[in-house]
Structures are given as structure tokens and as C-alpha cells.
Amino acid sequence: MMAAWIICYCFALFLILNHYSTTAQPPDDYPTANLSTTWTNNFSSSIYFSGDIQILPILLSETFGTSFACGFYCNGACTSYKDTSYLFAVFTILTTELGDYMNISPPQVVWSVNRDYPVSYGAILNFTETRDLVLRDVDGSTVWTTNTSGKSVV
């Protein structure tokens, strides 16, 4: 029970820090999470790194230096819709300037919700109207939830 509250607290802190660190920047560079938002794990916005690391960022601040992000993370051969190796994770990314280019170092996972139960391509993360964060695999089964629906932050 205590671990669930710690997880909820960490994710809430991540969302708050992401909001405050992004308010001085253009809104296009810093997406926010609104109630009833759904993200699908697909290849449309994936970022690939050497060593078969792939991320699909959901919230990512595009600044130079170390940034926190959250999204789907794969460390392996995630190149097809048949793969079941994705985690929903919070990770850090180091971004540096290389002349006219931006260099992004491979992400370092800080925390993941489903380390023992990775999800498939097409999995869905939903921030519900009742303020619950729910991760469902492609078959609709619930892999993880914050269980914060109707609960106060106090």
C-alpha cells in the first residue's frame, strides 16, 4: 500500500515539475497532460538510439542539459508490432548542442511502472477524467494503474 502512494507521489511530482519547468517556454515545445488524454505506443513519434533503444516520449522538455521525460521505453529489438518489450517509464535525457545540430544521449530509466510486465506495440496509457493514470496492453488488459480516482492529494 505504501509503495502505491510513493509511486503516485513521484508521478505527481514529475507532472508538477514538468509544468513549472515549462511555463516560461513556448507551449508547442512542452506538451501537457490534460484529463481524458490517451497516448498510444506506436512508431509515429519514436526516437531511436544505438544499442536498440527506442523511446516514444509523452512528456518531454526540449531544453539543453539533463531533462526528465516520460513515455514508452524499449531496450531491445522493438521494431515490429509483434514486440512485447515496452515499459512505461520516467527517464532522463541529456541534450547538448553540436554545432547546428542537437545531440541527444540515450535515455537513462529512473523509474518504470511495469518492469516485470512489459506491454506490446499498440498499448495505451490513459489519464482519465477521474484523475487516474491507467496503462492497458493492446488486448485491453490493465497492466498498471495509479488507483488515485477520487482521492485527494492530501
Q: Is residue 87 part of a domain?
A: yes
102 pairs with which residues across the strands? 97
> Higher model confidence: residue 78 or residue 59?
59
Q: Is residue 109 part of a domain?
A: yes
Q: Is residue 41 part of a domain?
A: yes
pLDDT digit string, tens, across residues 119-131: 988 899 998 888 8
- Structural domain total, the chain: 1
Q: Is residue 39 part of a domain?
A: yes
Can you give the pLDDT at residue 126?
92
- Residue 84 CA to residue 143 CA, distance in Å, equals 13
pTM over 0.75: no
Q: Is residue 112 part of a domain?
A: yes
Range of the domain at 124: 32-145
